[in-house]
A and B are shown apart, each in its own frame.
Chain A
Amino acid sequence: MRTAGYLFIGIFFGIVMYKSEAASWFRIYEMFQFDSFHMYGIIGSALLLGITGVWLIKKKKLRSFSGEPISFQPKEKGFSRYMYGGILFGLGWALAGSCPGPIYTLIGAGYVSILVVLIGALLGTFLYGKLKNRLPH
């Protein structure tokens, strides 16, 4: 039953990613050229609702579907890993024109070449795991 729930959420997410064109390489390029409000509108409106909703959940101490208290894990403090990692991710996001969510979406949309990006992303993740202890965090 829960598995069906996750599957449904994933399908919904995939449709939204494709139909909003957030999975389009062209939209990412256009965003970094500041030529359109589209991507900023998507991220901005999601964020506005996100901030409000998270605040409400905390304030009203709302519980999950299964009745557990909802807790938010704070991110570990730091600067280097977020800045350096962020910059590297941004370089890849702009070059391949997709982030992890859209990579999965585009596989379903039938773009075989995106599998090359996925293999690269897995390689990159593996590489990070190997080098983790030698990197500034």
Chain B
Amino acid sequence: MEYFSQPWPWYIAGPLIALVMFLLIYMGRQFGMSSNLRTICTMCGAGKTAGFFDFDWKSQRWNLVVVVGAVIGGFIGAFLLTNDPAVDINPETISTLNELGFSSAGDAYLPAELFSIDALTEIKSLTILIIGGILIGFGARYAGGCTSGHAISGLSNLQLPSLIAVIGFFIGGLFMIHVLFPIIF
């Protein structure tokens, strides 16, 4: 049990993610998390305003069940399988983050500066979270997939479009961290 409550190393987590993909393939499905966002838009009635959302969302019900599972899994992981949620990142990363103003680096799972309840009352952190979300949702649908759909599923099937998308993910991510972060924070 002691081992379970520690963070899981990459060589355990990576193969388990592959297992998730193969279980879904064996269920006759594809592993992809961002398409659920479109499904939820359709369930909320977006089909009336744009053809993109006009599809039978019930065909995607299985994937919504996976989402519900992922929420429950997050609860189990955080509250039943973890004693100390602090993420042990590289000390150099911690000092870089400290300089940017993230004093919670090394002591928490998510930065308190963005994700604490107090931060929700500040315009700046709220704006960052909402813009981050918009970019994730818009970008994932534009690219036709996210980390699971392209970086795992698509690349496993040696799809060139997925490679282009993953290169894009990294161009965007590196630009954000190295160029925009020093301006934003």
When the two chains form their complex, are residues A96 and B69 in contact, meaning their CB atoms are under 8 A apart?
A: no
B13 and A22 within 8 A (CB): yes
Expressed in whole angstroms, the Cα–Cα distance for A128 and B41 within the complex equals 11
Is there an interface contact between A75 and B169, defined as CB atoms closer than 8 Å?
no
Q: How many A residues have CB within 8 A of the partner chain?
A: 114
Interface size on B, residues (CB 8 A): 127
A108 touches B70 (CB 8 A): yes
Contact of B144 with A76 in the complex, beta carbons under 8 Å: yes
Q: How far is the CB of A127 from chain B (nearest CB, A)?
A: 6
Indicate which residue in B41, B69, B130, B139 contacts A86 across the interface (CB closer than 8 Å). Answer: B139
Residue numbers in B under 8 Å from A135 (CB-CB): 142
Return 21 A-B CB contacts under 8 Å, by A number. A2-B62, A10-B65, A10-B68, A14-B76, A26-B93, A27-B89, A29-B97, A32-B176, A37-B10, A50-B18, A51-B155, A70-B26, A76-B161, A86-B164, A96-B132, A108-B70, A108-B72, A108-B73, A116-B129, A121-B34, A125-B38
Chain A interface (Cβ < 8 Å from any Cβ of B)? 2-3, 5-33, 35-51, 53-54, 57, 64-66, 68, 70, 72-79, 81-101, 103-114, 116-130, 132, 135
Q: Which residues of B contact A (CB under 8 A)?
A: 4, 7-28, 30, 33-34, 36-38, 40-41, 46, 49-50, 52-53, 62-63, 65-79, 81-82, 87, 89-90, 92-93, 96-97, 105-106, 108-111, 114-117, 119-120, 125-126, 128-148, 150-162, 164-178, 180-181
Q: Enumerate the 6 nearest inter-chain pairs by beta-carbon distance, A residue then B residue, closest first.
A: A10-B69, A86-B168, A14-B73, A120-B133, A90-B172, A124-B137
